[in-house]
Structure 1
Amino acid sequence: MSAPRPTSRDRAWQLAAVVALAVNLYALYAPRVDGPSVPGVRLDWVGHALTFAVLTFTALMARVPPRLVLGLVAANAVVSEAVQHWFLPRRTGDVTDVAADLVGLALGWLAWRLVRRRGLRRDAARGRPDRDR
């Protein structure tokens, strides 16, 4: 049995995932990324969590296999901080950034699960067969 043909919705999610990946990689590997500051708040953690959540969610919505997404995004969280620490002169690696990245990954996965569950319930109510995942 062959894989189903991608729909226009699938292609839109694929494009969104590519854009999310580009933003994530730029934020992690640019020589220096300055953002706004609020006293007493680590906005960079919010940025880390947000970029990883969006990357995870869009990749999963684009039907990339969950194990592949979760594994690669988690690896990127660790590798990016090591690269920042050892190879980018104006950047520093930070274990708390890895934690923020992994929180974002978990939030993106959770959002995808909730959207998927809602879609499966809606399809079942309409008498449609299960989707491929």
Structure 2
Amino acid sequence: MRTRIAWAVVYVTALNVAAWFSLETPAELLTWAHMVQADKVEHLLAFFAATLLAIPLLGRWVSPGILAIILLNAGLVVELMQAFDPGRNADIADFAFDQFGVALGWLAAIPLRRWLGRPRSADVDPVRGS
């Protein structure tokens, strides 16, 4: 388990380093005023919702950690694709808020998975207790 966590940390760190060098974000976009715009909240909420839905729905087949990494990759791919569109800009801050959304969604999905995994009272056999 520790090895998986260590490799996940290494991978996410490498992903952030790649994003930092790939996404040319002007310094004026890294100001506090730019960080509190509605666009950033939309990124956070979109990836929060995607993670919160993906983990309970797909968690039976794919581990939550892998799903989180897939969503992190999706966030970076979206930002890299925007770099090729003249009307858009690839913003490292957007990617950061994507990551916050994935992290918050992952944390919120932990109790949700436990709650969804519990047997309902109708599913419990009163004679056997299960």
The TM-score with structure 2 as length reference comes to 0.58
More helix by share: 2
In the other structure, the counterpart of 1:43 is 38
Q: RMSD in angstroms over aligned alpha carbons?
A: 2.5
Of 81, 84, 87, the match for 1:83:
81
1:72 and 2:44 aligned: no
1:52 and 2:10 aligned: no
In the other structure, the counterpart of 1:62 is 57
Tell me, in whole angstroms, the C-alpha distance in 1 between the residues paired with 2:80 and 2:72: 13
SS of aligned partner of 1:46: helix
Query: Which structure exhibits the higher relative contact order, with contacts defined as CA atoms closer than 8 Å and separated by 6 or more residues?
Result: 2
- Residues 91-128 of structure 1 show CA distances to partners (whole Å, capped at 9, x for unaligned) of 100101100000000111111102123445x54x9755
> Identity of aligned pairs, percent?
34
- 1:72 is displaced (CA, Å) by 1.3
- Residues 35-88 of structure 1 show CA distances to partners (whole Å, capped at 9, x for unaligned) of xxxx87411110000000111111112124123311210001111111101x11
Tell me, in whole angstroms, the C-alpha distance in 1 between the residues paired with 2:38 and 2:72: 21
Tell me which structure has the larger Cα radius of gyration.
2
Tell me, in whole angstroms, the C-alpha distance in 1 between the residues paired with 2:58 and 2:37: 33
In the other structure, the counterpart of 2:97 is 100
